[in-house]
Amino acid sequence: MDNEDRHRAKVLSSHNVEDLRIFLKEKANEPPPQPDAYMIGGIVRAVFPELRALRKRGYTLNMLVRIFQENDLRVTATALCGYMKRLNEEADGELARGERKGTTQLSTSGSEARRHLVMKSDVPL
C-alpha cells in the first residue's frame, strides 16, 4: 500500500503554491551561496576578469602560473591556457567549442568509409 501512495499524484492547494512563490522571491534577493571548496577550474573562472586584464597588460601564462604558485595553488601553463581559452570564448560569445569558422567537415563514420573501399584482387605470394 505504501508503494501505491508514493506513485499517486499529490494535490496541493493554492496556499501551498503561494507559500512557495513567496519563499522563492525571498531567495531571489539573496546572494547565491558560495561553495566551501573550489576545483582549480572554478578558481580560474572566479578570477577570470582579473586574469584577462593581466593578460591584456602583457602578463604571460608562466607569470600567471607563478602568481597561482605564490598563493599555494597548483596549475600548469597548459591547463591555465585551456581554461582561459574556454572562458574567453564564452565571454566573447564565439562559436561553441570544437567548431571552426568557415569550414565544414565531411562525415567519416565507419559505415561510410567502408562503402568507399575498393577491394584489390588476390595476388599469389
Q: Which among 48, 88, 85 is positioned nearest to 68, based on CA atoms?
A: 48
User: What does pTM read for this prediction?
Assistant: 0.50
Q: Which among 93, 13, 98, 91 is positioned nearest to 52, based on CA atoms?
A: 91
15 compared with 77, residue with greater pLDDT: 77
Amino acid at residue number 41: G
**Mean pLDDT in residue range 108-115:** 52
pLDDT value of residue 119: 52
